[in-house]
């Protein structure tokens, strides 16, 4: 399929950019913002999610795959990474000046650490909390799709602390839950429920990177708080099946996305 593709800078730092893709000869195109994973670490970039981006374009969506400052980069972690993803999503307003985008149909899709950031973004709509965030999310979000997202940072910190010499969550937030409790509260989607945005949680039962129980705990709390949340899971899928455009769990996810966009 022939589609337009170009790199755009949403900021001045090296990692403040995104790759925009869109089908040619389209109008009122819905947008999927994709956020890659890699435990927020600089050695992992948006390349891993390219097959998914291209599949989404074939399905008729524009995609805005965002890079952001990560652990190991100047300004990565708290609060820089969080500010970056807000700025990246807000940049859609500038893209709309040149492309026929329908910003009433914006879905944020994130994988792993990117799933964490996607869920967190849902809490930021027109909100400026007392949390060192100078910028505000002005782009409305129709739904969030979290692919094995790290939805509970304190629980993930506990998991990472068992038998490991380093802890990605501590590095990301600049301390342990005891040392930086305010940051864990402000940065963890589990603590921010209900989000009041449609959410689809996708997780495989064979995931060895982010335990399924993390998503199940989040899902149960969201249901208890009457949030609008759905769950897609199967016992066979692992962490990376979720970003394989040929996997059965991705086909189920794509069907849910289509229903959301058309609702």
**CA-CA distances (angstroms) from residue 75 to 133, 137, 179?**
13, 19, 20
Predicted TM-score of the model (pTM):
0.96
Q: What is the pLDDT of residue 229?
A: 98
Closest among 26, 196, 38, 15 to 115, alpha carbons compared: 38
Position 137 pLDDT exceeds 80? yes
User: What residue numbers bound the domain in which 209 lies?
Assistant: 3-262
Total domain count, the chain = 1
**CA-CA distances (angstroms) from residue 226 to 107, 117, 123, 194, 234?**
21, 22, 15, 7, 24
DSSP 8-state secondary structure symbol assigned to residue 163: S
**Pairwise CA distance, residues 73 & 51, whole Å:** 26
CATH of the domain at 49: 3.40.50.1820
DSSP string, 229-249: EEEEEESS--TTGGG-TTSHH
Q: What is the pLDDT of residue 133?
A: 64
Q: What is the pLDDT of residue 127?
A: 63
Residue 166: pLDDT band (50, 70, 90) is: confident
Segment 149-161, tens digit of pLDDT: 999 999 999 999 8
């Amino acid at each position: 399929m022939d589609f337009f593709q170009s790199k755009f800078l949403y900021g001045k730092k090296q990692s403040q950019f995104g790759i925009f893709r869109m089908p040619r000869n389209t109008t009122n195109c819905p947008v999927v913002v994709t956020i890659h994973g890699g435990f927020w670490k600089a050695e992992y970039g948006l390349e891993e999610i390219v097959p998914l981006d291209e599949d989404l374009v074939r399905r008729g969506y524009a995609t805005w795959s965002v890079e952001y400052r990560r652990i190991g980069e100047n300004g990565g972690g708290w609060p820089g990474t969080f500010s970056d993803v807000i700025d990246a999503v807000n940049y859609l307003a500038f893209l709309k000046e040149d492309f026929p985008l329908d910003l009433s149909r914006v879905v944020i899709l994130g994988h792993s650490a990117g799933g964490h950031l996607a869920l967190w973004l849902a809490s930021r709509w027109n909100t400026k909390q007392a949390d060192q965030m100078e910028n505000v999310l002005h782009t409305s979000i129709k739904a969030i799709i979290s692919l094995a997202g790290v939805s509970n940072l304190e629980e993930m910190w506990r998991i990472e602390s068992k038998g490991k010499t380093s802890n990605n969550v501590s590095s990301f937030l600049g301390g342990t839950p005891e040392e930086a409790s305010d940051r864990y509260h402000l940065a963890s989607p589990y603590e921010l429920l209900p989000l009041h945005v449609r959410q689809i949680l996708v997780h495989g039962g064979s995931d060895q990177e982010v335990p399924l129980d993390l998503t199940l705990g989040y899902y149960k709390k969201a249901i208890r708080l009457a949030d609008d949340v759905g769950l897609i899971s199967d016992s066979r899928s692992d962490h990376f099946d979720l970003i394989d455009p040929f996997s059965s769990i991705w086909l189920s996810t794509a069907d849910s996305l289509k229903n959301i966009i058309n609702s």
